[in-house]
């Protein structure tokens, strides 16, 4: 690529492209995270462009529509996952690849940061990389190692990343029709002929590892996630840990305001323990509810709020949870909540649990709880133990140990002093602003490595000094052309 492909001006900031599985008002951890990131980038003087999926199934497949969401140019592409005929189709989708190429041709991005390839497939990384665009990827879960996303087996236990026979059984339990034994075409992501189901899964993994070698910047939110990917074959040292940020101050202030405005709680009113977010089997909601029933605590209610989806078409886990709630008034199920409702949820509970049974990559809900000054009960999986800060902010409980969860619930309900100590512990939570600042520096390195030019983001001051990165009110500059336009003179 010629060194003058990218033309940077002092104070203009970067044009950052984000590819994600969804965008607000879509609900979920990744849409919330990327929206926070976009807001912080805009505050730092950058422009953000988004390409994401619209999975409602209401529009012509692969059609696109544009909108402005809080100052971010968002293009949504209609795609509802209904066209997979073989396992390789999860990895390679020519139609969506062409959508990405068209978006890049029209969009003035200096780099593309992919935040999830679900739906788009790993071929999305090839689409960006193969035209020479600087490429970053954040690994928000284990989808590239396990198409079910969480390395959580159909047997109800965490799956080792290198247990390909177990992964084959898991995939067969969810999408038998995608495997050769179930009628799926015996063709791999590169067009290679496959001999059996295990060969299909091996080809899937090899293609994924090849795609993971493409980004110039490969990011994981935690050491735990990095370790899992490295165990699966990603080169050691390739993954940079960049912890996600939480809007701790704003959230804490709103929760405090709501608590102050609420009427005093009657002395005989039970405590409330919250479990927030999706209730997939890997999250352990039903197991926590069963331990809660066994603990038999009249002074404690369990409040479970979040979406209750089927697990790849299997509703048995949700039905198990709903049956427990129907039989026990002390278990309250609430529907999926909007992000604007989070502070109100946190204001009414006395602690938050995350009983996850998979190797949790980050643990957003309990970090939000800590921002609100709440104690946490977390499992010992993935990045969750760090949130309890060695027992100073709550308890770490073995994920699959029912008796240990019963004991932890009883202590939470009975030990007022411990709850107060855990809640008052001052956690050093990383903010969204800190996250964006770190990524900004990594973006500059990425662009320089890719193009030979390091963008200069600082404005010249009258006295010859340099100011901080340009604010959104900086003088308007001539618009940059799309990537392919700059590359080929369009």
pLDDT tens, 121-172?
A: 999 999 999 999 999 999 999 999 999 999 999 889 999 999 999 999 999 9
Instruction: Calculate mean pLDDT across residues 315-342.
Output: 95
DSSP state letter for 51:
E
How confident is the model over 204-227, as pLDDT tens digits?
A: 999 999 999 999 999 999 999 999
Residue 422 near residue 376 (C-beta atoms within 8 A):
yes
- At 243, phi and psi to the nearest 5? -65, 140
3-state secondary structure of 58: coil
- 289's enclosing H/E stretch is helix 285-295
Angle at 141 between CA 43 and CA 159, to 5 degrees: 165
Residue 485 near residue 105 (C-beta atoms within 8 A):
yes
| Distance of alpha carbon 375 from alpha carbon 392, whole angstroms | 9
The pLDDT assigned to 489 comes to 39
The pLDDT assigned to 469 comes to 52
The pLDDT assigned to 12 comes to 73
What is the residue-averaged pLDDT of the chain?
A: 90
Predicted structure pTM score? 0.89
3-state secondary structure of 218: strand
Q: Is 247 a residue whose pLDDT tops 90?
A: no
3-state secondary structure of 124: helix
| Distance of alpha carbon 101 from alpha carbon 43, whole angstroms | 28
The pLDDT assigned to 184 comes to 97
DSSP string, 324-372: HHHH-TTEEEE----GGGHHHHHHH-SEEEE---S--S--HHHHHHHHT
Please give the residue that has the higher pLDDT: either 9 or 62.
62
How confident is the model over 370-423, as pLDDT tens digits?
A: 999 999 999 999 999 999 999 999 999 999 999 999 999 999 999 999 999 999
Domain(s) labelled CATH 3.40.50.2000 in the chain stretch across 15-245+432-482, 248-424
Q: Is 353 a residue whose pLDDT tops 80?
A: yes
| Distance of alpha carbon 259 from alpha carbon 53, whole angstroms | 37
The pLDDT assigned to 326 comes to 98
The pLDDT assigned to 471 comes to 45
CATH architecture of 15-245+432-482: 3-Layer(aba) Sandwich (3.40)
The pLDDT assigned to 468 comes to 53
Handedness of CA 336, 429, 39, 79 (dihedral sign): negative
Cβ-proximal residues to 4 (8 Å cutoff; 6+ apart), any chain: 453
| Distance of alpha carbon 364 from alpha carbon 29, whole angstroms | 7
Instruction: Calculate mean pLDDT across residues 103-121.
Output: 94
pLDDT band at 472 (very low <50, low <70, confident <90, very high): very low
How confident is the model over 310-326, as pLDDT tens digits?
A: 888 889 999 999 999 99
Cβ-proximal residues to 254 (8 Å cutoff; 6+ apart), any chain: 343
Residue carrying structure tokens 């505050």: 43
Q: Is 464 a residue whose pLDDT tops 70?
A: no
The pLDDT assigned to 9 comes to 39
Q: Is 487 a residue whose pLDDT tops 90?
A: no
Looking at domain 248-424, its CATH class is alpha beta
Pull the structure tokens for residue 115: 């935040």
For residue 364, give the nearest of 352, 373, 349 by alpha carbon. 352
Instruction: Calculate mean pLDDT across residues 19-30.
Output: 88
Instruction: Calculate mean pLDDT across residues 68-81.
Output: 93
């Amino acid at each position: 690529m010629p060194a003058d492909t990218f033309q940077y001006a002092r104070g203009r900031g970067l044009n950052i492209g984000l590819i994600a599985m969804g965008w607000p008002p879509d609900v979920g951890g990744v849409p919330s995270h990327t929206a926070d990131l976009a807001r912080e980038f805009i505050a730092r003087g950058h422009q953000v462009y988004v390409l994401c999926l619209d999975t409602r199934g209401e529009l012509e497949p692969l059609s696109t529509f544009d909108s402005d969401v809080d100052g971010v140019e968002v293009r949504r592409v209609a795609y509802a996952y209904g066209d997979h005929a073989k396992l390789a189709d999860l990895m390679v989708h020519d139609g969506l690849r062409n959508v990405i190429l068209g978006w890049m041709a029209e969009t003035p991005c200096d780099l593309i940061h992919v935040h999830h390839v679900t739906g788009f497939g790993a071929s999305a990384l090839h689409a960006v990389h193969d035209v020479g665009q600087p490429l970053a990827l954040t690994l928000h879960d284990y989808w590239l190692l396990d198409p079910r996303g969480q390395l959580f087996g159909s047997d109800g236990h965490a799956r080792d990343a290198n247990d390909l026979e177990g992964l084959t059984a898991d995939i067969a339990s969810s999408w038998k029709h995608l495997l050769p034994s179930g009628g799926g075409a015996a063709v791999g992501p590169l067009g290679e002929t496959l001999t059996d189901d295990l060969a299909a899964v091996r080809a899937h993994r090899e293609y994924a590892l090849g795609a993971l070698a493409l980004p110039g910047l490969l990011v994981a939110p935690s050491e735990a996630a990095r370790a899992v990917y490295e165990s699966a074959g990603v080169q050691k040292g390739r993954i940079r840990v960049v912890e996600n940020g939480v809007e701790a101050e704003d959230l804490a202030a709103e929760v405090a305001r709501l608590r102050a405005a609420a009427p005093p709680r009657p002395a005989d009113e039970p405590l409330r323990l919250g479990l927030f977010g999706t209730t997939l089997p890997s999250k352990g909601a039903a197991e926590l509810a069963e331990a809660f029933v066994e603990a038999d605590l009249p002074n404690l209610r369990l409040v479970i709020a979040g979406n209750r989806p089927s697990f790849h078409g299997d509703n048995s886990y949700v039905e198990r949870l709903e049956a427990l709630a129907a039989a026990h008034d002390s278990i309250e199920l609430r529907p999926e909540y909007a992000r604007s409702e989070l502070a109100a949820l946190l204001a009414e509970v006395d602690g938050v649990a995350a009983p996850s049974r998979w190797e949790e990559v980050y643990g957003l809900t309990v970090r939000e709880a800590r921002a609100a000054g709440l104690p946490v009960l977390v499992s010992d999986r993935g990045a969750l133990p760090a949130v309890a800060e060695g027992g100073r902010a709550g308890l770490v409980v073995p994920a699959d140990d029912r008796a240990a969860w019963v004991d932890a619930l009883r202590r939470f309900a009975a030990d007022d002093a411990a709850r107060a100590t855990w809640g008052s512990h001052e956690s050093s939570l990383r903010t969204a602003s800190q996250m964006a600042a770190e990524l900004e520096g990594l973006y500059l390195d990425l662009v320089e490595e890719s193009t030979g030019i390091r963008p200069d983001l600082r404005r010249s001051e009258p006295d010859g000094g340099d100011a901080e990165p340009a604010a959104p009110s900086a003088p308007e500059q001539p618009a940059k052309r799309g990537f392919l336009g700059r590359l080929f003179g369009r």
